[in-house]
Chain A
Amino acid sequence: MIVKELIPLIEGKLVCGDPDSSHQMKLAFASDLMSDVLTLDSNNPLLITGLCNLQTIRTAEMADIHVIIFARNKKVTEEMIHLATQHNMMLIETPYSIFRISGILYKHGIKPIY
């Protein structure tokens, strides 16, 4: 799945990154706990989270994550966008809950890590 296919499924708004990106998303992980995200061995999962601060972006940088979905209307800050841009990340805001996003993506073929 590419970002252009993902966005309408979750009423998402891409706030950082290229809307025409061909980056393929196959795996996802949902967590608000960044230490949990840092234990992942999988390469390049997409992250669904309710934690919206600079350390979310830092964690994604260290864990080689390039797409982050922020659930329940969490607003990404300019500082986060600045850092995410340096690492070619895509940041998506959505009004949906983590549970709802996860269900929709699962139904559309995105696989869980565990």
Chain B
Amino acid sequence: MHFNFEVEGGNFSKAGSASSEIKKILNQLNVDYRIIKRIVVALYEAEVNVVAHAYRGWIDANIDTDKIQLTLTDEGPGIPDIEKAMKPGFSTASAKVREMGFGAGMGLPNIRKNVDEFDLKSEVGKGTKLEFTVFINSE
């Protein structure tokens, strides 16, 4: 199964709505709740990143019987130094993002922790692509 969502940069009232939809779908498919939690926590952190940093973005979800793959592509400023961005505590978030309870430099490490495969590519001035996979029978 394949699903697409659009994410609006800067719109915090909608941040998380795609993750919420994916959670509903996975619940309907009777996926193990521990797997669902790992996926939606990673996806929600990634969705908030797009809202916080990019102008707009897209989420592609591919749900198979053995794995769930998520791709988040955005048009935005990009990440100049991915290694630095992956370090816990490193953040470039605005005051607005911090007011929302994010921006402490925990998002990307938390996404990495929750998924089985993780790939982050970025081009400064163009945007960022994050792909991650969770295997359903990995536990």
Contacts and interface: CB of A to CB of B under 8 A. Distances in A.
Interface string B92-115: 000000011110101100100100
B104 A38 contact: no
A61 B71 CA distance: 21
B44 interface: yes
B15 interface: yes
A35 B15 CA distance: 14
B59 interface: no
Contact of B16 (A37, A61, A64): A61
A64 B13 CA distance: 20
A35 B110 contact: yes
A85 interface: no
Say what secondary structure dominates the interface of chain B.
helix
Nearest to A39: B110
B41 interface: yes
B45 A64 contact: no
B44 A59 contact: yes
A55 B110 contact: no
A106 to B, nearest CB: 23
B33 interface: yes
Contact of B101 (A55, A61, A64, A79): A55
Most interface-central of A59, A63, A79 (chain B CB within 10 A) = A59
A36 interface: yes
Interface residues of B, number: 23
Nearest to A57: B16
Contacts of B20: 58, 61
B24 to A, nearest CB: 10
Interface in A21-56: 32-39, 51, 53-56
A39 B106 CA distance: 9
Contacts of A63: 37, 41
Given A38-B110, A39-B110, A55-B16, A62 B100 contact: no
Contacts of B110: 35, 38-39
What 3 A-B pairs come out closest when comparing CB atoms? A34-B101, A58-B16, A35-B106
Interface of B: 12-13, 15-16, 19-20, 23, 33, 37, 40-41, 44-45, 48, 99-102, 104, 106-107, 110, 113
